[in-house]
Chains A and B, each alone.
Chain A
């Protein structure tokens, strides 16, 4: 574990001390980043803009009344899911909280079933039964999408436990927000993760605010939130989320430690969300200043910085990247068409997907009454 945690640039930005010119460590030369081909680097760009365009499009239709419930946007945080999940192999699994669209897309889910889910349609990834907070794709090692703050943290532990039990060399990435670090379930999970040597990496996506309450007003800590790992004799690190290279370089170390040594870690990735806690957050512009938001967008936007990097490295031209962006937007718009044209779930379908045994019509499902609708 680092003896001196590097001051996270983003938090400095919040404190208005860092600027775009603040010197940064360069993680481009780390082995996991050096191994990236030009195409892979461009793919990372594509993955980030796909998340952003998908969500911008979803926002438009949420505001237009086509999408119900909550919509917790990931815009501004794309580099976290993209950087970390770009490191996943066959036996690596991931699980997150309710700000889950980015992880779903980066895990390989298509836009159409995701948008259809937001629209509450039968063609949605959860058949209209989950909504924005509850996307799942077990076939892509993606386990949701969970609505209760920190409720997913023991599940992530269980994924790691399961991998180890089943003899798979992999790790579980369990994401949580900075507001989740004060929940008991998280601390119980940390203790067991360290005690049982579970291959899990807890990733705190620190966007500075647990809903409307800033980190300073919600958490007691010395250096940073990840440092709480010390209490559990667990490794930890702090990562500047605006730098995709840094996210990948440091996450790779933690993931390898989990896979090879069964050692869990906490990574705190500093990031920022441009919109409210959810779109329904009426005070989104009251608990932080417009200047703060603009400062981040201007100087620390992960997509903007990655684009700059790719152009500087000669990996891609702005025109090429614009084309990718356009394509992502077109896909998002097409997903709306798919969602709008899809049928709503039938009333009969309400009673499906409650029990595995009844869904599969097994002998066990024929015995006794399972449902009690009068």
Chain B
């Protein structure tokens, strides 16, 4: 059996189950406890679990993120909420030097079982500083793992896997998805965990592979319906879900079937997840390509504020359809 939950509720259910499973799991961040979460992901958890397990921190990302990393070295399993992933910049040293490198620099003596989670998206009329989309950035640091779920079920299954992982996992959510609903398996049917490193074919087609992660997948699915109805093009829509580790096999399988690829990425065009995926495809499946690999990325400027055109800067179903049609 499954129920319909919002993405936010599914995440919360995953967090709640992990809090119950392991007494060393602790949730920390700005407004996560008494305020019930800036985006209400942690709503009710403080009331249920109390001060020790759900901890409000001051607005002090370098301090509390670093504190979580230090605690994780001792065996605590902190789940740190960044109110926006955009705030990574003030904790960058902690995120990329301490969490990512301490295992390596210690010759494998230390590991950091920590999760950093929060929304990482544009499209909320808040301007450039609050609209960074850094999954590609962090996936570029060996030692880190990154995932970005698109649906409520994936959000729940992946957050549980992230918390159980013994390496640092940077978990990128999306405020535009928090209210989105979807089917999520009932807890009474067993422990629902989706491992990192496994992509999910969200729609099966034969003519073109649309590959992305996070909210791009929701757009891709909508675009795929338009392509089918208006243009007779049947698209595979592959949701990477996990950026690092990356399910390269699933990417190649889809490409080898359709021979055409459009990558959708809410990051900018220079570098990033889609650039990496594009490289992997040309490297490993060059002979299967009937057309150049195309991308739909966020238009290459800092995120604009204006609500009138913001969604045009980001990938959207219209831009995806147009890009697929250029493949001929």
Contact = CB atoms under 8 A, between A and B. Distances in A.
Contacts of A134: 105-106
Interface string B175-197: 00000000000000000000111
A158 B70 contact: yes
B78 to A, nearest CB: 8
B128 interface: no
A144 B103 CA distance: 11
A126 B67 CA distance: 23
B247 A367 contact: yes
B70 A368 contact: no
Nearest to A133: B105
A165 B103 contact: no
Contacts, number: 190
Interface in B271-328: 276, 283
Given A148-B97, A158-B66, A166 B74 contact: yes
Given A124-B107, A367-B195, A192 B64 contact: yes
Interface string B69-81: 1111111100000
A359 B108 contact: yes
B142 A368 contact: no
Interface string A106-148: 0000000000000000001111111000101111000111111
Interface in B16-56: 24, 26, 52
B245 interface: yes
Given A151-B97, A162-B71, A127 B107 contact: yes
Interface in A326-369: 352-357, 359-360, 362-364, 367-369
Given A130-B106, A136-B109, A185-B62, A159 B94 contact: no
Interface size class of B (residues with CB under 8 A): 35 or more
Contacts of B68: 158
Contacts of A157: 63, 66-67, 70
B321 to A, nearest CB: 29
Interface in B103-125: 103-111, 113
B65 interface: yes
B60 A364 contact: no
A327 B83 CA distance: 56
A124 B107 CA distance: 9
B107 A356 contact: no
Nearest to A185: B62
Contacts of B107: 124-130, 136, 353
22 contacts: A125-B107, A126-B105, A126-B109, A130-B106, A134-B106, A145-B105, A148-B93, A154-B70, A154-B94, A155-B70, A158-B73, A161-B67, A165-B24, A185-B66, A192-B60, A352-B108, A353-B104, A354-B142, A357-B166, A369-B245, A369-B246, A369-B247
Given A158-B73, A185-B62, A368-B242, 18 more contacts: A93-B74, A125-B107, A129-B107, A136-B110, A143-B73, A145-B105, A151-B98, A157-B67, A159-B74, A161-B71, A162-B72, A165-B52, A353-B104, A355-B143, A356-B166, A367-B197, A370-B245, A372-B246
